Chains A and B, each alone.
Chain A
Amino acid sequence: MLSINDLRASIEGKEILKGINLEVKPGEVHAIMGPNGSGKSTLASVLAGREEYEVTGGNVVFDGKDILEMAPEERAAEGIFLAFQYPVEIPGVTTINFLKTAVNEIRKYKGESPLDAAQFLKMVREKAKLVSMNDSLLKRALNEGFSGGEKKRNEVFQMAVLEPKLAILDETDSGLDIDALRIVAEGVNSLRSPERSTIVVTHYQRLLDYIVPDYVHVLYKGRIVKSGPKELALELEEKGYDWIKAEVEAVG
């Protein structure tokens, strides 16, 4: 489903990703961990198409298509979803209107006719229930004045509505207390399916107690330096990142 080959990317002339290789198959959950500044969020941003980053090498094939030449909205329409670390507040645009526009733009991309208001509302209500999203938030301006937990829940809700093939969660646990974390994770888990893949980008292991990964990768200095089963996350929690750094430096 997703194949990242020797991906290199830089920002303002500084290389951040220095040759990433990763294979994600349908239904799999991959955790990307690593110390601060290792390039985790850059990887998430480059996959979603953030334009500040310049891709300097490699390719990313998603469902048989090279996505690096695609605009962010085309990637979204192809089925890639990025849950933001810092969801943006957009005054004056209600969540419901925003999502209706998104759903219908994606339908247009796929050559489908737009949903009418009634169909859309019905669908949205079901999804809101699925991820425990309060209906009253839908009519408010997008993320404006939302608490940290509400913002993250809104990300998961949007994911439920857009039904991506690949969801990338960028530090979804940051800024959440344990209760909010649990609710968000339950939302993500309720959306797991044999067709939907997930990449969980996180610094800490605690999110992985709730969203249990199939594989854990450690990103350091722009490369994946270690991969393993879910137990690797526990080892990192226990020992920190220093031993990985030491291993990498030893290899040189």
Chain B
Amino acid sequence: MSNETIDLKTRLITDFHAREAVMNGEASSEFHQKKRAGLALFEQLGFPSIKHEEWKYSNVRDLISVSYDFNAESSIGLAELEDLKVPKQEANILYFVNGRYNEQLSAIISPVDQITISSLADAYKNDPAKVASFFNELTKDANDAFTALNTAFAQDGVFIHIPDNQSVEHPIILRFVSDAREKNVGSQPRNIISVGKNAHVKLAEAFRTLGDQRSFTNAVTEIQVAEEANVQYYKVQNESENAYHIGTTQVRMLDRSHFYAGTVTLNGKFTRNNLNIVLDGEHCDAHMYGLYFPDGTQHVDNHTVADHQKPNSESNELYKGILRDKSKGVFNGKIFVRPDAQKTNAFQSCKNIVLSPDATMNTKPQLEIFADDVKCSHGTTTGQIDEEALFYMRSRGISQSEAMSLLMFAFCADVVQQIKIDSVREYLENVITKKLASK
């Protein structure tokens, strides 16, 4: 049997056992036992087909039809990264090349009393019990093949800790670069972020690709938000036409904390984002904003969960998309209100503009409410550009293409304005303007 005919699942399982065989004593550690459990779950679940309810509109057949090098070395240096830089960005910049944290390329400018950043491996070396207790803690109940796969193969991401009462002045930007210049590469970064009580921080994860070969990113980030903390978390995907991306962000919020998420998918062949927020505290508020612009045959799927477990909290969600050509979009928003979560307020909205008869958008709000004193609402709209607005603008001398750009930019504005890292917002405004003007 040639290599090409062995399917990706078998190859990954074989690879896991081969690595395990050379691990010496470490194989019995708590950390590795969690990885092994991840593998077992992945083995049991296998890659999902479209018969799986959670994957009904997102077919991964194409994604798993080829092989990827998950251990690819890369010669990327600062010169190649120059092109990926965002102007006027005064921030802690962490680089990840093919999924692994690269300390040499990274620059941390915040003082050590504000943030602790280390690779997962270093953090584990320093305090094995602590890291093992965080690792896969939030995602342990996820019955998801890709999360399990990431747990099994978790690459050396970062462990970020913000101590109690610290207000981190400079944002922390995690920049993931897939080097697909020579071959198909796979990466499975795993990051753990722990935000202390009453700490304030702004974070962004940015995904980019170099080269035209295929890249497959399977990323998992776990974020613990302690009491009264305030976290802004953004995910920006601007990858190649051959980039496949599956990502899970799992968040747990405690009393009186605030969490803001912004997920913007600018480019990529196939994207699936899972944003799962557990409101495990009272008087919390969680905000989720999303924006996507697929064109060509691109596919963007956003699955979100707001899981209200305690009383008196609020979640608020707004996703927007502009779909062109033969692109496909999926939005699935779940709101759970558990029996104890009285006085919950939960709002959800998903609005789309479909510019081509060949583009499709599937939206599915899913509310499961087990408490009786709650306020929940949801709404989705899918439509075309407002013809009356278009004529109004044209009647003032604005060309059709310029009017379309202005209207689409305006459509995105209420999401873009939620991005509170200035350099990231300006970058997005720039890229979005160009993207909207391109057709």
A77 touches B397 (CB 8 A): yes
B417's nearest neighbour on chain A, judged by CB, is A92
Contacts of A87 in B (CB 8 A): 392
Beta-carbon contacts under 8 Å, B352-377 to A: none
Contact of A93 with B by CB under 8 A:
yes
Distance A48 CA – B398 CA, assembled complex (angstroms): 13
List A contacts of B409 (CB < 8 A): 92
Q: Are B389 and A105 in contact (CB under 8 A)?
A: no
B410 within 8 A of A: yes
Looking at chain B's contact residues, is the secondary structure mostly helix, strand, loop, or mixed? helix
Interchain CB contact under 8 A, B392 and A88: yes
In the bound assembly, the distance between CA atoms of A105 and B398 in angstroms comes to 6
Do A76 and B395 have beta carbons less than 8 Å apart?
yes
Encoded as 1 (CB less than 8 Å from any A CB) or 0, chain B from 398 to 432 comes to 11101100110111111000000000000000000
A90 within 8 A of B: yes
Interface residues of A in 84-119 (CB under 8 A from B): 84, 87-88, 90-93, 97-99, 101-103, 105-106, 109
CB distance from B353 to the nearest CB of A (A): 13
Interface residues on chain B, size class = 20 to 34
Contacts of B392 in A (CB 8 A): 84, 87-88, 90
Chain A residue numbers with a CB within 8 Å of B402 are: 101, 105
Query: Are the C-beta atoms of A91 and B397 separated by less than 8 Å?
Result: no
Cβ contact of A162, chosen from B389, B391, B394, B396, cutoff 8 A: B396
CB distance from B398 to the nearest CB of A (A): 5
Per-residue CB proximity of B336-347 to A under 8 Å, as 1/0? Answer: 000000000000
Please state if A102 and B410 are interface contacts (CB–CB under 8 Å).
no
A73, A75, A84, A92: which contacts B398 (Cβ < 8 A)?
Answer: A73
Cα(A92)–Cα(B236), bound, Å:
22
> Would you give the shortest CB distance from B197 to chain A, in whole angstroms?
38
**Pair A162/B414 contact, Cβ less than 8 Å:** no
- Whole-angstrom CA separation of A75 from B392 in the bound complex: 13
Q: Do B391 and A92 have beta carbons less than 8 Å apart?
A: no
Q: Is the CB of B395 within 8 A of A49?
A: yes
Q: Does A72 touch B at the CB level, under 8 Å?
A: yes
Bound form: Cα–Cα A249–B413 in Å = 55
Would you call B72 an interface residue if the criterion is a C-beta within 8 Å of the partner chain's C-beta atoms? no
Q: A76 and B410 in contact (CB under 8 A), knowing A88-B388, A88-B389?
A: no
Interface contact A73-B394, CB-CB below 8 Å: yes
Query: When the two chains form their complex, are residues A98 and B400 in contact, meaning their CB atoms are under 8 A apart?
Result: no
Of chain B, the residue at the smallest CB distance from A103 is B397
**Residue A82 at the chain B interface, CB threshold 8 Å:** yes
B393 on interface, CB distance cutoff 8 Å:
yes
Query: Chain A nearest CB: distance from B381 CB in Å?
Result: 14
- Residue in contact with B394 in the complex, picked from A76, A97, A158, CB distance below 8 Å: A76
Name the residue of chain B whose CB is nearest to the CB of A76: B397
Say if the beta carbon of A51 comes within 8 Å of chain B.
Answer: yes
> Which A residue sits closest to B392, measured CB to CB?
A88
Query: Which residues on the A side are within 8 Å of B410 (C-beta)?
Result: 90-93, 141
CB pair A92 B411 closer than 8 Å: yes
Quote the shortest CB–CB distance from A131 to chain B (angstroms).
16
A-B contact pairs, 26 of them (CB 8 A): A49-B394, A51-B391, A71-B400, A73-B397, A73-B403, A81-B395, A84-B392, A84-B395, A88-B389, A88-B392, A91-B410, A91-B414, A92-B410, A92-B411, A92-B414, A93-B406, A98-B396, A98-B406, A101-B402, A102-B393, A102-B396, A102-B397, A102-B398, A103-B397, A105-B397, A158-B396
